[in-house]
């Protein structure tokens, strides 16, 4: 069974600064996906960024980027130029290859962006 | 393009009762997954449906059951409700083999 661990229950950052959220996972599979999801207080879960395990290049989506270390089973999210709208719960998730719908989630990190 | 919708938004039940939650998939999606999210925790995978059959199940007892209909909408049924069933229930849809799933807004269930 896969496990996903987010060791930072809460974090805060000043507006316009950079913050990094940590995630580690455990799996015996070689092909899989990793995700970061955002869940604002309104609760709709939104995909932030996705990384395919077979890709060595780290994924980037505008202000969001990841540091994927496959051997260390580490998958951190960096948010640059933080905005007030980034305030939310962030979840790291693992999914087996070709099936994002069977994801295992961490317990989340609550991020607060301060003005 | 219509996103994933869920009904009802909120629900209050009594221990021992049964509940049915509903989900409509995003257009073009043929797979539906259900997750339970307890307060302060991450979502936990309950099960997935594809072609009206269960296609994988998490660590949930048989009193959690589901259906998928020909139009790819889905129901989650929970029998003999327990207090610990109080949670946000999320539905997510995707195309089979897809790399991305899309979530609905969830149904908040409170069991008293």
Instruction: Give A73-104 pLDDT, tens digit per residue.
Output: 999 999 999 999 999 999 999 998 778 889 99
In this prediction, residue A96 carries a pLDDT of 85
**Inter-chain residue contact A101 with B99, CB threshold 8 Å:** no
- A53 neighbors A34 (Cβ within 8 angstroms): yes
Q: Which residues of A fall within a CB distance of 8 Å from B90?
A: 45
Mean pLDDT of A8-19: 97
Q: Which residue of chain B is at minimal alpha-carbon distance from A106?
A: B42
**Which of A6, A43, A93 comes nearest B88 by C-beta?**
A43
With beta carbons under 8 A apart, name residues in chain B contacting A52: 99
Instruction: Looking at the complex, report in whole angstroms how far the Cα of residue A40 sits from the nearest Cα belonging to chain B.
Output: 11
CA distance A16 to chain B (A): 27
- The DSSP call for residue B43 is -
Query: Residue A100: which of B32, B44, B99 has the nearest Cβ?
Result: B99
User: Any idea of the CA torsion for A64, A68, A72, A77, to the nearest 10 degrees?
Assistant: 10
Q: Is the pLDDT of residue B15 over 80?
A: yes
Say yes or no for a CB contact (<8 Å) between A33 and B41.
no
Q: Residue A111 — φ and ψ, nearest 5°?
A: -105, 130
Contact map slice: A 43-102 vs B, CB within 8 A: 43-47, 50, 52, 91, 93, 98-102
CA distance A18 to A39: 19
A86 DSSP 8-state letter:
G
Asked if pLDDT for residue B110 goes beyond 90, the answer is: yes
Instruction: Supply B20's token pair.
Output: 């049915």
- What pLDDT sits at residue B1? 57
Query: Which of B35, B41, B103 has the CB atom closest to A44's CB atom?
Result: B103
B45-63: average pLDDT: 94
Nearest Cα neighbor of B100 from A74, A108, A52 is: A52
pLDDT in tens, A24-42: 999 988 889 999 999 998 7
């Amino acid at each position: 069974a896969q496990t996903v661990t987010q060791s930072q229950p809460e974090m805060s950052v000043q507006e316009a600064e950079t913050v990094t959220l940590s995630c580690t996972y455990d799996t015996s599979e070689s092909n899989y996906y990793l995700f970061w999801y955002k869940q604002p207080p309104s609760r709709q879960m939104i995909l932030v960024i996705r990384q395919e395990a077979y890709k060595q290049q780290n994924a980037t989506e505008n202000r969001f980027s990841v540091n994927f270390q496959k051997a260390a089973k580490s998958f951190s999210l960096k948010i640059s130029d933080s905005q007030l709208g980034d305030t939310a719960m962030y979840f790291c998730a693992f999914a087996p290859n070709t099936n994002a719908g069977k994801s295992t989630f961490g317990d989340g990190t609550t991020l607060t962006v301060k003005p | 393009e219509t996103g994933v919708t869920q009904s009802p938004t909120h629900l209050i039940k009594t221990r021992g009762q049964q509940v049915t939650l509903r989900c409509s998939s995003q257009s073009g999606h043929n797979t539906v997954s259900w997750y339970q999210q307890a307060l302060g925790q991450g979502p936990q995978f309950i099960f997935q449906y594809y072609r009206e059959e269960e296609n994988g199940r998490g660590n949930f007892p048989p009193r959690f059951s589901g259906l998928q209909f020909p139009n790819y909408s889905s129901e989650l049924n929970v029998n003999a409700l327990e207090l610990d069933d109080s949670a946000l229930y999320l539905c997510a849809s995707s195309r089979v083999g897809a790399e991305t799933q899309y979530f609905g807004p969830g149904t908040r269930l409170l069991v008293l």
